[in-house]
């Protein structure tokens, strides 16, 4: 395996509480019908620039949309200080991959500055060769643009890379790019939903990844 590309939310980090709180609070403050926890969790794999429209019960004006984004980002930045957690065994997994000299990358629907801030907060930034957020791609997940950019920048062959994620959007993106794919059990989408996308691998525990690379 030449490289492993990880999703962030729901794969490396448990950010569900942050996302649910910040989203519901933003919708409530902006007087838009508040989405359910299930809706928010389902859409965590794609950028809020798309998910907020998908979760709204009505079309949003440009002003409303910008207010939602601003409020969400403010609330998220506050709650992440206490609620954002790295999933158990992820640091051990990343350390083991580093020992094997396998390059690791992060491809997230967060903005790149927020992604790096979160990686630093969780003390795992040093394990990654590079990271790409939603602001650095032309097309969002499940479009494979992010994987293509990483492959081009770092001379990677997609067929020799593994895309690891907790949502169907990650698996769809990996398939579209021509990578191998690994769905994980501990994130936002159920095993049944993930398996419908026919990932190359499915794992129940983080360290199980070491057995398939």
- What integer pLDDT is reported at residue 116 of this predicted model? 97
CATH topology of domain 16-83: DNA polymerase; domain 1 (1.10.150)
What whole-number distance in Å separates Cα of residue 74 and Cα of residue 149?
A: 29
- What integer pLDDT is reported at residue 160 of this predicted model? 97
pLDDT in tens, the chain (213 residues): 899 999 999 999 999 999 999 999 999 999 999 999 999 999 988 899 999 999 999 999 999 999 999 999 999 999 999 999 999 999 999 999 999 999 999 999 999 999 999 999 999 999 999 999 999 999 999 999 999 999 999 999 999 999 999 999 999 999 999 999 999 999 999 999 999 999 999 999 999 999 998
- What integer pLDDT is reported at residue 45 of this predicted model? 85
Q: Where are the domains of the chain?
A: 3-14+85-211, 16-83
Widest distance between CA atoms in the chain: 51
Residues 107 and 132: beta-carbon distance below 8 Å: yes
Kindly report the CA angle at 27 between 11 and 47, in degrees rounded to 5? 35
What whole-number distance in Å separates Cα of residue 150 and Cα of residue 178?
A: 13
CATH annotation of 3-14+85-211 = 3.40.50.1000
Residues 105 and 6: beta-carbon distance below 8 Å: yes
How many C-beta neighbours within 10 Å does residue 34 have?
18
* pTM exceeds 0.75, yes or no: yes
Residues 178 and 171: beta-carbon distance below 8 Å: no
Phi, psi of 210 (to 5 degrees): -65, -25
């Amino acid at each position: 395996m030449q490289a492993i590309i990880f999703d962030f939310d729901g794969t490396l980090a448990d950010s569900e509480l942050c996302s649910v709180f910040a989203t519901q609070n933003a919708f409530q403050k902006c007087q838009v019908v508040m989405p359910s926890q299930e809706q928010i969790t389902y859409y965590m794999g794609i950028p809020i620039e798309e998910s907020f429209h998908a979760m709204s019960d009505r079309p949003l004006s440009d002003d409303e949309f910008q207010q939602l984004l601003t409020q969400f980002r403010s609330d998220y930045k506050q709650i992440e200080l206490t609620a954002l957690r790295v999933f158990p065994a992820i640091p051990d997994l990343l350390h083991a991959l580093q020992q094997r000299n396998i390059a690791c990358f992060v491809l997230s629907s967060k903005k790149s500055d927020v992604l790096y801030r979160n990686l630093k907060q969780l003390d795992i930034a040093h394990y990654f060769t590079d990271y790409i957020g939603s602001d650095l791609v032309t097309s969002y997940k499940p479009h494979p643009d992010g994987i293509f950019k990483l492959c081009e920048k770092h001379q990677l062959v997609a067929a020799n890379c593994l895309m690891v994620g907790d949502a169907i959007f990650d698996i769809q993106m990996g398939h579209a790019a021509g990578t191998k794919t690994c769905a994980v059990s501990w994130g936002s989408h159920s095993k049944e939903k993930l398996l419908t996308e026919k990932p190359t691998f499915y794992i129940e525990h983080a360290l199980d990844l070491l057995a398939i690379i």
